[in-house]
């Protein structure tokens, strides 16, 4: 696997899973653009990438803002070149303090859809023309196992990730004739700040988890639901992303891959 001479854009690339994806692609030679709202962390990640592959850039991008997405597309061309690889990873689990409530509010639904689904569509729209012109491209969307079945404690997030899987298939059908592949990955259980919030919410909304700390909820789910009995890591997800982005996956499109230790076998 070699991405030397290629340009990758990673939304939400400043921290967590996005950062691991950006570092993995850089490790295989890609120049990487970090598109995030977290300026300080985006800067740190871009500097790490620079040391690894020699080329990186960052553009402060709120994926919900169409003008910012257009600015990102132009800034990518101007700084490191036209995009070969787009990783749609930016995501949120709810509106402010969502984890402290036992139910989803209208704001949870609106903001989660705005970032996870509409934001993904905004970014894809601005990069598809760069890729279509060159009749080549790889797009990888980060969904979640929460999109594989309903979740009683976070319906807004679960529904947004099911929408990501559907959006992946529609975009794959649209772009296949331009030789662009579009696939999705469903990460399983990763101990990140986002999952800490999820654990908080599960403890409030699911009777079996009542009184447990977020980490205890997480460990219980690993023991009860994951056949491989171990948590997933950002690097596990990055490995799968790199495969979809590589030439090895040139004839695979519209697929959704679970990176979840066997949690879902479909
Ligand atoms: N952590 C998990 O267990 C898990 C499981 C399944 C799926 N996921 C998905 O993986 C992706 C990354 O999650 P993570 O755990 O690394 O979380 P994280 O919070 O560490 O990373 C999300 C990144 O997205 C950025 N972001 C948020 N809103 C944005 C916006 N409007 N515009 C641009 N950037 C924005 C954040 O600043 C952050 O850098 C998300 O899509 C998440 O839903 C996470």
- Binding-site residues, ligand 1, Cβ < 6 A: 11-12, 14-18, 36-38, 61-64, 89-92, 115, 119, 142, 144, 187, 189-190, 192-195
For residue 193, which of 12, 64, 54, 61 has the smallest C-alpha distance? 12
- CA of 95 relative to ligand 1 center, distance in Å: 13
Question: What is the pLDDT at residue 99?
Answer: 87
pLDDT band at 81 (very low <50, low <70, confident <90, very high): very high
pLDDT tens sequence across 100-147: 888 899 999 999 999 999 999 999 999 999 999 999 999 999 999 999
- CA of 177 relative to ligand 1 center, distance in Å: 30
Q: What is the mean pLDDT of residues 251-255?
A: 98
CATH T-level topology, domain 7-189+232-259 = Rossmann fold (3.40.50)
Can 209 be counted among the known catalytic residues?
Answer: no
* 22 within 8 A of 45, measured Cβ to Cβ: yes
Residue 183 burial by Cβ neighbours in a 10 Å radius (0-12, 13-18, 19+): buried
pTM equals 0.97
- CA of 58 relative to ligand 1 center, distance in Å: 17
pLDDT tens sequence across 169-211: 999 999 999 999 999 999 999 999 889 999 998 898 889 999 9
Question: What is the pLDDT at residue 152?
Answer: 79
Q: Give the start-to-end residue ranges of the domains of the chain.
A: 7-189+232-259
């Amino acid at each position: 696997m070699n991405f030397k001479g290629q340009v990758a854009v990673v939304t939400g690339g400043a921290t967590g899973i996005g950062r691991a994806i950006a570092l993995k692609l850089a490790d295989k030679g890609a120049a990487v653009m970090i598109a995030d709202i977290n300026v300080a962390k985006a800067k740190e990640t871009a500097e790490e990438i620079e040391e690894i592959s020699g080329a990186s850039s960052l553009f402060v991008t709120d994926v919900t803002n169409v003008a910012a997405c257009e600015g990102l597309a132009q800034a990518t061309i101007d700084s490191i070149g036209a995009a070969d690889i787009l990783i749609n990873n930016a995501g949120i689990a709810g509106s402010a303090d969502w984890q402290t409530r036992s139910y989803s509010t209208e704001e949870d639904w609106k903001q989660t859809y705005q970032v996870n689904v509409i934001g993904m569509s905004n970014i894809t729209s601005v990069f598809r023309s760069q890729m279509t012109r060159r009749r080549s491209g790889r797009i990888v969307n980060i969904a979640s196992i929460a999109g594989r079945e309903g979740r009683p404690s976070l319906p807004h997030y679960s529904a947004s990730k099911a929408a990501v899987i559907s959006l992946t298939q529609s975009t794959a059908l649209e772009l296949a004739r331009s030789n662009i592949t579009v696939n999705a990955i469903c990460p399983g259980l990763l101990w990140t700040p986002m999952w800490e919030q999820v654990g908080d919410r599960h403890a409030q909304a699911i009777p079996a988890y009542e009184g447990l700390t977020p980490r205890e909820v997480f460990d219980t789910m690993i023991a009860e639901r994951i056949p491989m009995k171990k948590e997933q890591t950002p690097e596990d997800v990055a490995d799968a992303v790199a495969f979809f982005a590589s030439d090895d996956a040139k004839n695979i499109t519209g697929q959704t891959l679970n990176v979840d230790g066997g949690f879902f076998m479909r």
